């Protein structure tokens, strides 16, 4: 690899894969890499608000330790010396886990979440804690102790959520990779809005121990990166069974990069058109972007056919009943005793859970099983599903009515309901210069196939070479 060429572009846009390779071959200093990212953070974060807590001193200290280890030929793992940002509902030992809320602004984590511990074991260096929507359910709010993150493609626009700082920071080159969480699309929404790659893995593949819960049966932890290869590399580090996480599953540890460059030829891809054409008509540029992805995959040799699933309206209803019921069980005491300490948006979105009954919850879970069977049946006919992620590009952050209108216009929640792996990435740019998005969905534990298709689109389109004009 040509480190000089990377440096000419700026180390802040060096991929995690390239950085780890250069460090391993003593072509790049972890300290140099960290200083480049810290300089980028100092320059841009006053505008983007990606961080709640930057831990620069500890990150530099860890980079010096990584440099000494690398100099002596000792590498901790495949991410040795690579910076990573952590969404602030995920525990990092010694730092507060605030959930971007006054409720927990003084809550100090005493241990790393399992996923953070695995990243450290792979050699990654934690840079700090990142902005989120309050408790991963509010929206971009201005009535919280910290300001909301902003979109680096246009800081007047929101970056998606709830993993908002993760999406903004990765896209802007503040760090090459980040951890997010996804309960109704919260990894894939900022990936869509910020033009990066975000994966919601199969339910149970990544431990959630040490992550503040929103919905026990819908929550996922996911990697957020600028490239498909980096995403697969990150998933290899964090995946694995955790016997102390009740939702964790025993699955073969995948070699998620194994099929990256096999291309799309011969693959069967099911296009779920009715999501964006009938159920929730998308903005025309989004529709055009999806058609372009479909045609490109056909040109690469894939067999694309139309597939029908239950409607987005029904998926959304099931998700809403389950999420709000489970979230109410978590937040009930605080909402009863400290309602004024929540921001307006989070309080409004959590309160409906008080009014669902046991029958509603049971019926939603019964329908959920039928929806899982429907997606499984579709994936018995094809290798991967192609569908919309967001139905609109990100709107301005200072237009609450437009934020409220567009946020629910998405096709991500179906795969939290069913637990299937789903990846969102850029499909192009709108006429206003904002990212458009596409989503691919796979069979349980077949993340390698998702990465194969996503990589084929990425290489054909050059989406990994597009960066915000900031």
Per-residue pLDDT for 384 more than 80?
A: yes
Please, which pLDDT band fits residue 5 given cuts at 50, 70 and 90?
A: very low
Can you list the positions of beta strands (E) in 240-302? 268-271
Q: Which long-range contacts (CB under 8 A, 24 or more apart) does 401-410 make?
A: 403/139, 403/140, 403/158, 404/139, 407/139, 408/316, 409/280, 409/282, 410/185, 410/189, 410/192, 410/280
Is residue 6 pLDDT above 80, yes or no?
no
470 vs 411, residue with greater confidence: 411
The residue annotated as part of the active site, out of 29, 101, 163, 186, is 186
Q: Answer whether residue 3 shows pLDDT above 60.
A: no
Per-residue tokens: 52: 């709640």
pLDDT band for position 42 (cuts 50, 70, 90) = very high
- The residue whose two tokens read 């480190």 is 3
> pLDDT digits over 169-195, tens only?
999 999 999 999 999 999 999 999 999
Q: Which tokens go with 344?
A: 């307006």
| Chain centroid, CA 442 distance in Å | 16
Contact present, 335 and 342 (Cβ < 8 Å):
yes
With a pLDDT cut of 70, the percent of the chain lying above it is 98
The whole-angstrom separation of Cα 303 and Cα 301 is: 7
Instruction: Give the sign of the dihedral formed by CA 205, CA 211, CA 213, CA 214.
Output: negative
Pick from 186, 127, 199: which is nearest to 159 by CA?
186
Q: What confidence score (pLDDT) does residue 204 get?
A: 97
Radius of gyration of the chain (CA): 21
CA pseudo-torsion sign 450, 452, 453, 455: positive
Answer whether 142's CB lies under 8 Å from 127's CB.
no
Catalytic residue among 101, 131, 162, 163: 162
Predicted confidence band at 252 (pLDDT cuts at 50, 70, 90)? confident
**186 given a catalytic annotation:** yes
pLDDT band at 334, cuts 50/70/90? very high
Q: Within its chain, how far is the Cα of 387 from the centroid?
A: 17
Q: Does position 119 have pLDDT exceeding 50, yes or no?
A: yes
Is-catalytic flag, 35? no
Q: What is the DSSP string of 79-145?
A: TTT-EEEEETTB--TTSB--TTSGGGTT-B-SS--HHHHHHHHTT-EEEEEE--SGGGTS-S-SSSS
- On the question of pLDDT at 50 being above 80, the answer is yes
Report the distance separating Cα 42 and Cα 394, nearest Å: 25
For residues 369 and 37, give the distance between their C-alpha atoms in angstroms, rounded to a whole number.
45
CB of 91 within 8 A of CB of 104?
no
What's phi and psi for 341, nearest 5 deg? -85, -5
The mean per-residue pLDDT over the stretch 99-103 comes to 97
Known catalytic residue at 129: no
pLDDT score of 109 more than 80: yes
| pLDDT at res. 385 | 98
All domains in the chain, ordered by first residue: 3-465 (3.90.1300.10)
Percent of the chain beyond pLDDT 90?
Answer: 96
**Whether residue 9 has pLDDT greater than 70:** no
pLDDT of 4 over the 60 cut: no
Strand order in the sheet with 197-200: 51-54, 125-130, 83-87, 177-182, 220-225, 197-200, 422-429, 435-441, 384-387, 268-271, 303-306
Encode pLDDT of 336-377 as tens digits. Answer: 999 999 999 999 999 999 999 999 999 999 999 999 999 999
- Output b/e per residue, 221-251; b: 16+ Cβ within 10 A: bbbbbbbbbbbbbbbbbbbbebeebebbeee
pLDDT at residue 8 is higher than 50: no
Q: How many residues does the chain have?
A: 470
Cα 71-36-94 angle, rounded to 5 deg: 80
Phi/psi of residue 178, nearest 5 degrees: -150, 160
CA 121 to each of CA 79, 199, 234, 238: distance values in angstroms, whole numbers, following the listed order: 9, 21, 12, 10
The band of 254, judged by pLDDT with boundaries at 50, 70 and 90, is confident
Residue of 152, 166, 214, 206 lying closest to 52 (CA atoms): 166
Beta pairing class for 422-429 and 435-441 = antiparallel
Average pLDDT value over all residues in the chain: 96
How much is the pLDDT for 159?
98
Q: How confident is the model at residue 81 (pLDDT cuts 50, 70, 90)?
A: very high
DSSP code at position 352: G
Which of the following is catalytic: 29, 87, 102, 389? 87
What pLDDT is recorded for position 138?
86
Measured CA to CA in angstroms, residue 223 lies from 116, 176, 180, 187, 199 at distances of: 11, 11, 6, 8, 6
How far, rounded to the nearest angstrom, does the alpha carbon of residue 25 sit from its chain's CA centroid?
30
């Amino acid at each position: 690899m040509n480190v000089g060429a990377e440096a000419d572009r700026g180390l802040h846009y060096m991929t995690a894969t390239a950085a780890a390779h250069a460090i391993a071959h003593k072509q790049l200093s972890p300290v140099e890499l960290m200083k480049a990212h810290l300089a980028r953070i100092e320059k841009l974060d006053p505008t983007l608000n990606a961080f709640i807590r930057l831990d620069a001193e500890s990150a530099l200290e860890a980079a010096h330790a990584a440099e000494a280890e690398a100099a002596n030929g000792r590498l901790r793992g495949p991410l040795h010396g690579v910076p990573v940002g952590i969404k602030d509902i995920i525990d990092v030992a010694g730092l507060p886990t605030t959930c971007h809320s006054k409720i927990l602004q003084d809550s100090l984590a005493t241990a790393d979440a399992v996923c953070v511990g695995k990243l450290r074991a792979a050699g990654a260096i934690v840079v700090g804690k990142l902005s989120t929507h309050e408790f991963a359910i509010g929206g971009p709010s201005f009535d919280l102790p910290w300001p909301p993150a902003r979109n680096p493609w246009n800081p007047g626009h929101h970056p998606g959520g709830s993993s908002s700082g993760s999406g903004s920071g990765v896209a802007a080159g503040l760090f090459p990779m980040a951890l997010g969480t996804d309960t109704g699309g919260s990894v894939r929404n900022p990936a869509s809005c910020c033009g990066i790659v975000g994966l919601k893995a199969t339910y149970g593949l990544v431990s959630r121990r040490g992550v503040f819960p929103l919905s026990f049966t819908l929550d996922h932890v996911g990697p957020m990166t600028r490239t498909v290869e980096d995403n697969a590399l990150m998933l290899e580090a964090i995946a694995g069974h955790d016997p102390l996480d009740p939702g964790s599953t025993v699955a073969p540890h995948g070699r998620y990069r194994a099929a990256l460059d096999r291309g799309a030829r011969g693959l069967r891809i099911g296009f779920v058109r009715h999501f964006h054409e009938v159920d929730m008509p998308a903005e025309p540029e989004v529709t055009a972007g999806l058609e372009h992805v479909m045609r490109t995959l056909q040109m690469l040799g894939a067999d694309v056919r139309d597939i029908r699933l239950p409607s987005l309206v029904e998926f959304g209803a099931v998700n809403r009943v389950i999420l709000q019921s489970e979230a109410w069980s978590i937040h009930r005491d605080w909402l009863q005793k400290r309602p004024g300490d929540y921001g307006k948006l989070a309080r409004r979105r959590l309160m409906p859970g008080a009014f669902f009954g046991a029958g509603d919850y049971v019926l939603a879970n019964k329908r959920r099983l039928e929806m899982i069977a429907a997606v499984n049946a579709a994936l018995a006919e094809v290798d991967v599903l192609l569908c919309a992620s967001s139905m609109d590009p990100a709107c301005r952050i200072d237009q609450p009515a437009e934020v409220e209108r567009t946020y629910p216009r998405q096709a991500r929640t179906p795969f939290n309901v069913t637990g299937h792996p789903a990846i969102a990435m850029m499909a192009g740019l709108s006429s206003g210069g904002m990212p458009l998005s596409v989503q691919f969905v796979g069979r349980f534990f077949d993340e390698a196939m998702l990465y194969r298709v996503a990589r084929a689109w990425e290489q054909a389109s050059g989406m990994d070479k597009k960066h915000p004009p900031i």
